[in-house]
């Protein structure tokens, strides 16, 4: 994302230097989502996350996080 661009209020943007998702970033993202759901009392409601078949999304450690 260019430095001159700003995200809309409430939009969270995650990225890393090489532009590719990796296992550690994916697990941090899952932790973030769980934290947000807990702090907003949303954890009592069912949720679903949809993601593609990118290899890093299918690692066992990522699936365990879910």
Q: What is the value of pTM for the model shown?
A: 0.65
Tens-digit pLDDT profile for residues 13-65: 777 788 777 888 888 888 988 888 888 787 778 877 777 777 766 788 888 88
CA–CA gap between residue 4 and residue 42 (Å, rounded): 34
Q: How many residues make up the chain in this entry?
A: 66
Per-residue pLDDT at 56? 65
Per-residue pLDDT at 22? 83
CA–CA gap between residue 7 and residue 64 (Å, rounded): 31
Q: How many CB atoms within 10 Å of residue 26? A: 19
């Amino acid at each position: 994302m260019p430095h001159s661009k700003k995200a809309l209020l409430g939009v969270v943007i995650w990225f890393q230097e090489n532009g590719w998702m990796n296992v550690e970033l994916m697990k941090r993202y899952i932790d973030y989502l769980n934290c947000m759901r807990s702090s907003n009392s949303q954890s009592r409601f069912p949720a679903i996350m949809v993601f593609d078949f990118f290899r890093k999304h299918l690692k066992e450690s990522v699936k365990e996080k879910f």
